[in-house]
Amino acid sequence: MPAIDPTSGTSALAQPAAPLSSTNTSPAFDREKVTILFVLGGPGSGKGTQCANLVRDYGFIHLSAGDLLREEQNNKESKYGQLIADYIKDGKIVPMEITVKLLEGAIRSKLNSDGTGKFLVDGFPRKMDQAIFFEETVCPSKSTIFLQCSEEVMRERLLNRGKTSGRSDDNEESIVKRFQTFVNTSMPVVDHFEEEGRVIKVSAEDSVNEVYENLAKALAEKGISPSK
């Protein structure tokens, strides 16, 4: 793997940002002004789908780590395009500096003029190092929504999505690898947040509307209500 220097080059990753070292840094954004909800769940659990509902009703801004990585992958000026493409096809977690810098830049560009903002950070953090680095250098999260779904249901949804998504990883071979990464690398993050009492867990097996109803109830219990 090449050395990562997300502050060089001409891509979106070249935006000025906080130092990369996680020592002696304070988060770039104030948690009193910036609300971050992480949204986790296996591939195909419905994160993007439910985020769209939350954007509509709660006034959140949706940032998908996967979408930002795919955008960077397609940016001809980025020197990480091929690296990102390889990691995504293999269902592996892209080196965290890249993803965290993309998220930080996206948050910065979407803040209100008074520095406030409410963000759903979808598909992130997928690995413990991402979680720690983001909370130390960007902003501590308020909670993590976790969509719980069986592999059987997720596989069916992903294969179905693959008929039209054009994604390099919505195929049998990549799906198997993505499930392995989810179990081995991403679930420990959910378990860690759960030990801290910071997880809002919702079953994601039922219809989109039923899942959303349960999600809305679970959010209400944490004092998070629709904005209109």
- CA–CA dist 169, 177 (Å, integer): 9
* Residue 21: both structure tokens together: 């070292």
* By the rule CB under 6 A, 161 interacts with ligand ADP: yes
* By the rule CB under 6 A, 207 interacts with ligand ADP: yes
Residues from 167 through 206 that contact ligand C5P (CB under 6 A) = 169, 178
Three-class SS of 152-176: HHHHHHHHHHHHHHCCCCCCHHHHH
* By the rule CB under 5 A, 48 interacts with Mg ion: yes
CA 104, 93, 23, 72 dihedral sign is negative
Part of the chain binding ligand ADP (CB under 6 A), chosen from 40-48, 137-145, 173-181, 194-202:
40-48
Part of the chain binding ligand C5P (CB under 6 A), chosen from 7-15, 123-131, 137-145, 203-211:
123-131
66-85 CB burial, b ≥16 within 10 A, e <16: bebbbbbbebeebbbeebbe
Residue closer to ligand ADP, measured from CB, 96 or 154: 154
- CA–CA dist 14, 5 (Å, integer): 9
Residues from 51 through 80 that contact Mg ion (CB under 5 A) = none
Across the chain, the runs of DSSP E, i.e. the strands, are: 34-41, 61-64, 117-122, 143-148, 199-203
Part of the chain binding ligand ADP (CB under 6 A), chosen from 20-28, 96-104, 111-119, 155-163:
155-163
Give the closest residue to 94 by CA, choosing from 1, 13, 169, 193.
1
Which residue number has the CB closest to ligand ADP? Answer: 46
Identity (one letter) of the amino acid at 169?
D
Part of the chain binding Mg ion (CB under 5 A), chosen from 5-13, 41-49, 182-190, 214-222:
41-49
* Interacting residues toward ligand C5P by CB under 6 A: 43, 65-66, 69, 87-88, 91-94, 99, 123-124, 126, 130, 169, 178
* Interacting residues toward ligand ADP by CB under 6 A: 41, 43-49, 157, 160-161, 207-208, 211
* Interacting residues toward Mg ion by CB under 5 A: 47-48
Residues contributing to the annotated binding site for a ribonucleoside 5'-phosphate: 70, 92-94, 123-126, 130, 167, 178
